[in-house]
Structure 1
Amino acid sequence: MFVAGCANFPLGAASDSGRTTEPAAVAEGPAAPEMFRLANGMDVVVISDHRAPVVTHMVWYRIGAADETPGKTGLAHFLEHLMFKGTDKIAPGQFSKTVARNGGQDNAFTSADFTAYYQAIAKDRLPLVMEMEADRMTHLKLTDKDVLPERDVVIEELRMRIENEPTAQLQSAMNAALYGNSPYGRDIIGVKSEVEALGTQDALDFYARYYTPNNAILIVAGDITSAELKPLAEKYYGTIAPRAPTLVRKRPPVTWPSEPKRVTLHDERVREATWIRSYPAPSSAAAGTRDSAALDVLAQILGGGSTSALYRSLVVRDKVATAVQSWYRGDLLGAGSFSIYALPRVGGSIATTEKAIDAELARFLAAEIDTDELERAKTQLIASATYARDTQQTMAYAYGSGLTTGLTARDVYLWPDYVRAVTAADVLAAARKVLDARHAVTGELLPKVKP
């Protein structure tokens, strides 16, 4: 389940057959979003927040790196870059400059399951950004002159973010080992040799197939109501005819490791060791609200800060580590993971740190969860979610990522209630299902061994 306020952790119409074309609050309360669907199939989510005359406008496409055709990896992220290259109305590079001249900010991002574009701007400028975003949904112009230099930019980004970052290389290798042949086992930015071969027609074909309103979600958070947004959405987006069928994702299930795996990397840029272990886990959507919330609480109890069980034992008591953290990643459509990270103390042994973690996990699984510990973890998570609702972008992201990865709007809105309902038995059951080292991938990042 999405942990509001945490960028790396991750609402609804239910299934397509259950959607309505009229606005309907999905839950009681002033912050409950409203949803409706345009005649062309584009879903719309409205998150009202009237404290300031500003809005965050987002368009999410149900297409990500995991949906790419084998041999054409990197296209989802590449097209994200190319969407800023212009149309007949907007010259290349002018989209962001126009937003900035009007006092706003904009950006875009790609994940395994979605690609999204957003602008944060004054409410009276909302029609402007809606018109521009709708324009590039249908009239993007691409030529070799624009595409090929941008491909070089993406390749340089790949070098900087993956090839020149030892931790990213370790994570990449661990993902490949954990997810195997699943698309989740490769980097979102793509395989370098395949990115180098991408061309203008590849981008245009991808754009024509997936950038269609019936494959998109409009989310607007801020000083606006559903009644105010609906005529704007119909004016700017509702007139766009679908140009391709709605994407129906049919992915094979992930085949988890049948035995424990270990990935060890040595790098001359590394000064101190890093230890990471990732366990197979269900996605939030697959786990369901009860088990997903229990996994979030488990991560908070084990490694959610300086009061967590692993921190108290490894850092404070035994002093074998300088940092330790755990997290549940459920924000993928087809699979998830549960991970633990530790930095051995300076001059210490990574083997000693791993042994201490295994001992603490064994103790945790064999004991009863302390009531105060459980309540403290739940309070911390709920407080984080409450604070996150003060930020338009965070809430809009929560709903967008949830809707594109199998959750409903109700799931996200009621997440604090699901956390409140978690029991000690729920947490232990989740821990015993997930913390199985027989199928885990353990990673070690170590200084380069001198000859």
Structure 2
Amino acid sequence: MHRPTYALLAALLVAAPVMAQETPPPQVSHFTLENGLELVVIPDRRAPVVTHMVWYRAGAADDPAGQSGVAHFLEHLMFKGTEKYPAGALEGMVNELGGETNAFTNADVTVYFQTVPPDALPTMMDIEADRMRNLVLPPEVIDAERAVVLDERRQRVESQPQSILAEEMAATLFQNHPYRVPIIGWAHEIEALSREEALSFYDRYYAPNNALVIVTGDVDADAVRQMAEETYGKVERGPDLPPRDRAVEPPHDTSRTVTLQDARVSLPSFSRNWLVPSYRQAENREAEALDVLAAILSDGPQSRLYQELVVKTGIAAQVGASYSGGAYDDAGFSLYGTPRPGTSMEALETAVYAELNKIIETGITDAELERVKNRFIRSTIFARDEQANMAQTYGLWLTTDRSVEDVALWPDRIREVTVEDVQAVATKYLRPTIAVTGYLLPLAEEKTP
């Protein structure tokens, strides 16, 4: 099954947090059932379609030591069915309806979702409530599904030099935190994953008091709540889980370099990466300022990197910046680029960092700041057209200890970001002496220090 990357989901946090003030905000209802399950309902009656998502607050960063990939492995196994709904029943129902069902695992959550006609929603809720506690895993399915996961790893990681480097970069950027371990898992640990380990993870984390259900589309909030009471509400509450206190990163006080040379690489590229606060961690508008900084550098044809390095000097084939603020713990900020033929990697890397350094030394203009703010707010209007975007946005925020009210306030917090805020986060967090830089090079090309 296709699973969105974490980068894509993090991008949705920026692209679709909430509607702008120019349009009415969504009528969001937020309930908690007696067994601890959270329920969010966002009516949208423009089309007879509903999106139903179940978010478990458990992802790859919760994999026990030595069992990397078990959260993702369990995601696969969840489609093996229950006594009430055997393997293939869910997919068969949804396909017959012309809908969609899928799932994804990232570092912090595992999510299952369907997009179906509204009259199918009670059945979707019943299926998800049933497999929340009643998963059936015959021993014979384990080896076959483990082989599927290993093949997925070969296709998505080992056959793609960019993915190999990304794994090594994460393992270098995070020295202590479990974000350093691949979401899909290390191959040698996937090979050893057992039925008992998958069921142990399932028994620990798959319970209503560790789940968030989001329904958006052609629905009524009170009716959805009644459906939830009749399905999810009958599932017994699980043990209370301790706080998600993961290993903390030590101070980063060195620069580090990761280089991969591979015959499959045709164009060289680099990325420079830093640890920065996520939205959950940040204070004093720092997360919003980091979002704005990334946009000023690379959001659209008027951004600094595009104008200077693509339009004016023409030395970059690709260049950009990103901020992954949707993480539960530490986030990342990246600068990246691919030089055009005839330009050295060193020249492009120097030019990219020079644009950041200008912001550190002299700040940004009021005009730049207003342009980016307006782009952010406009993007929220367009995002409302996608039910899945809305559901994913609320899911990301609520599973990182934020609230429906926080989502509603996001546009105002972006509007409050100042020129000084942007310069301050660039100066505080993006020093080259503490960055991790990755180089992806053709086999014949040497990278000199």
Aligned to 1:72: 67
Q: Counterpart of 1:448 in structure 2: which amino acid?
A: L
The share of aligned pairs that are identical, in percent, is 45
CA RMSD of aligned residues (A): 1.8
Counterpart of 1:61, as a letter, is Y
Is the contact made by 2:58 and 2:205 (CA closer than 8 Å) also made in structure 1? yes
Question: How far, CA to CA, are the matches of 2:162 and 2:276 in structure 1?
Answer: 22
Any idea what SS the aligned residue of 1:181 has?
coil
Shift of 1:89: 1.7
Q: CA deviation at 1:389?
A: 1.7
Q: What CA distance in whole angstroms lies between the structure 2 residues aligned with 1:323 and 1:309?
A: 13
Do residues 187 (structure 1) and 182 (structure 2) align? yes
1:156 maps to 2:145:
no
* Whole-angstrom distance in 2 between the partners of 1:419 and 1:369: 16
In the alignment, is the contact (CA less than 8 A) between 2:335 and 2:352 conserved in 1? no
Query: What whole-Å deviation, never above 9, does each CA across 1:285-334 have from its counterpart, x for those lacking one?
Result: 11147221111111000111221111111111122211111111111111
Q: Which moved more, 1:259-268 or 1:236-245?
A: 236-245
Contact 1:180 1:256 survives alignment (8 Å): no
The aligned amino acid for 2:357 is: A
Matches within 5 A, 1:324-343: 324-343=319-338
- Partner amino acid for 2:365? D
1:365-403 deviations in Å (ceiling 9; x for gaps): 222422221111111111112211221100100111111
> How far, CA to CA, are the matches of 2:10 and 2:184 in structure 1?
17
Equivalent pair of 1:275/1:341 in contact (CA under 8 Å)? yes
Indicate conservation of the 8 Å contact 1:278/1:339, yes or no: yes
Distance 2:295 2:304 in 1: 9
* Aligned residue number for residue 197 of structure 2: 202
Runs of 4+ in 1 over 3 A off after TM superposition: 5-8
User: How high is the TM-score relative to the length of structure 2?
Assistant: 0.92
Q: Determine if the alignment matches structure 1 residue 413 to structure 2 residue 415.
A: no
**Contact map agreement 1:177 1:257 (CA 8 A) in 2:** no
* Residues 331 and 30 of structure 1: CA distance in aligned 2, closer, same or farther (over 3 Å): closer
- Per-residue CA deviation, residues 134-159 of structure 1 (Å, 9 max, x unaligned), is 11112110012112100000011111
- Aligned pair partner of 1:322 in 317, 321, 327: 317
Does 437-446 or 408-417 show the bigger shift?
A: 408-417
Q: CA deviation at 1:94?
A: 2.4
Paired position in structure 1 for 2:17: none
Q: Give the stretch that moved more between structures: 244-253 or 424-433.
A: 244-253
Report what 2:123 is aligned to.
128
Matches of 1:351 and 1:330, distance apart in 2:
28
Count of matched residue positions in the alignment of Structure 1 and Structure 2: 431
**How far apart, CA to CA, are the structure 1 residues paired with 2:399 and 2:262?**
37
Q: Given that residues 179 and 256 in structure 1 are in contact (C-alpha distance below 8 angstroms), is that contact kept between their aligned partners in structure 2?
A: no
SS at match of 2:285: helix
SS across alignment from 1:197: coil
Instruction: Find 1:440's aligned residue among 410, 415, 435.
Output: 435
Q: Does 1:222 align with 2:227?
A: no
Give TM-score scaled by structure 1 length. Answer: 0.92
Q: Is residue 2:132 matched to residue 1:137? A: yes
5+ residue gaps, structure 1, are: 12-27
Are 1:374 and 2:376 an aligned pair?
no
Structure 1 segment 22-421 matched on structure 2, within 5 A? 30-288=25-283, 290-421=285-416
Deviations 1:32-71 (A, max 9, x none): 4211100001011111212122110011000000011101
1:119 positional shift: 0.4
Which ranges in structure 2 are unaligned for 5 or more consecutive residues?
1-6, 14-22
Question: Is the CA contact (8 Å cut-off) linking 1:148 and 1:200 kept in structure 2?
Answer: no
The separation in 2 between residues aligned to 1:312 and 1:268, in whole angstroms, is 32
